[in-house]
Chains A and B, each alone.
Chain A
């Protein structure tokens, strides 16, 4: 039950984060993937199953806000959530630099999976990937690593 509440809170936080981003930095909205950050956060803290379920929920939420094919992002984020959860069990990705590199890889993986899947299933033009492939992983990784660092600091100081 606690995991369900945490998952729902994660999706709601991603939705609100995306709304704030849309209102404050419209030009850069797609470069920071807040839905993926919520998935990776869940995967790193709760494991691969939680990551995969979060990937499905956040992916479908992102799909519903986009006019592309419904389910494309759900698929890529489910895979990324599962892979991130598995990898985090085997490798320590908590230090800042390693964390940023890990988030960079996972964001790039999501983008590539999404692009390939879109191309394969519906032949969707993926011209936008040219711009996003460089900026989105970098921005998402840096912001995500900073958020993780703040979260770890907060938990160390105030958590149980």
Chain B
């Protein structure tokens, strides 16, 4: 049966769109994880819609709370929350420093630097396509956020790192639970050094721990080793939840990340050395 002109037109448009997608994918594949110009453009144009929506959402929530509770109590509460957020980050930094046996002076200097190096960000949206792989935060180039900066949760545990695209006002973050991620880690008590990556279900696999390593048991804490050159050493990553059989060259270890997905409302981005900004600086908290 011959096709009607309208049906022919539909098929032509559909074929054109499919070819467009294939061309886009062909451009992307040789670039690897680097986003293409088109992806950067789409990201820059669309994320402000969510950013704006998110701001409205927050504003409505705040308005509701202000009406329900007393204005001053709400203000105090916000200050306390902000302070508590910073204290948790300091606490995490302190613990890291203690573990590295730093002197008191060094620790004091480090703490004051840490305060300036933390940029608080809110989550705008989570990855819509895959499970626990990435998210978008409401801080971008204007706030000093750059690719490969480390992202922590409000308790100072490792969440992931900033990846491209980074627009002036938003940035994408790859979570440690992403299958394509890789973090150099060490099991507490020098029980082994390996690489952590996501398993696609929200947990992580710890790879390249030799079968000959003894004494690894469920409950062992996992920290960043710093060997990857991206994540600083001593960040709390998670804990071992299962140790598989030692049949191959390497052990099969499953790690539950320390951060909880439902607690990812606010995050801390660690600015790199030389990126320190004043508390009231641009894109301030």
Known: A16-B53, A61-B42, A65-B47. A70 touches B35 (CB 8 A): yes
Q: Which residue of A lies closest to B164 (CB)?
A: A67
Q: Beta-carbon contacts of A64-89 to B below 8 Å, as 1s and 0s?
A: 11111111111100110010001000
Other-chain residue from A26, A82, A127 in contact with B179 (beta carbon distance below 8 A): A127
Task: Check A121–B125 contact: CB distance below 8 A.
Answer: no
The interface size of chain B toward A, counting residues with CB under 8 Å, comes to: 55
From B43, B57, B127, B178, residue with most partner A Cβ within 10 Å: B127
From A11, A18, A34, A117, residue with most partner B Cβ within 10 Å: A18
Complexed CA–CA distance, A55 and B18 (Å): 10
Task: Check A56–B17 contact: CB distance below 8 A.
Answer: yes
Complexed CA–CA distance, A86 and B123 (Å): 38
Specify which chain A residues have a CB less than 8 angstroms from the CB of B126 in the assembled complex. Answer: 21-22, 26, 29-30
Q: Tell me the total A-B contact number using a CB cutoff of 8 A.
A: 169
**Is B199 in contact with chain A by the CB < 8 A criterion?**
yes
Known: A63-B39, A65-B136. A73 touches B10 (CB 8 A): no
Task: Check B201–A15 contact: CB distance below 8 A.
Answer: no
Task: Check B201–A127 contact: CB distance below 8 A.
Answer: yes
Other-chain residue from B14, B43, B262 in contact with A27 (beta carbon distance below 8 A): B262
Task: Check A62–B14 contact: CB distance below 8 A.
Answer: no
A157 smallest CB distance to B (angstroms): 27
Specify which chain B residues have a CB less than 8 angstroms from the CB of A26 in the assembled complex. Answer: 126, 261-262, 264
Within 8 A of B (CB), among A1-15: 11-12, 15
Specify which chain B residues have a CB less than 8 angstroms from the CB of A15 in the assembled complex. Answer: 46, 49-50, 53
Task: Check B131–A30 contact: CB distance below 8 A.
Answer: yes
Task: Check B127–A29 contact: CB distance below 8 A.
Answer: yes
Other-chain residue from B17, B47, B132, B134 in contact with A52 (beta carbon distance below 8 A): B17
**Is A19 in contact with chain B by the CB < 8 A criterion?**
yes
- Cross-chain pairs A/B with CB under 8 angstroms, 22 sampled: A15-B46, A18-B128, A22-B124, A22-B126, A27-B261, A27-B262, A29-B127, A30-B127, A30-B130, A59-B21, A61-B46, A62-B129, A63-B39, A64-B46, A65-B128, A68-B130, A69-B28, A70-B35, A71-B21, A73-B129, A121-B25, A131-B200
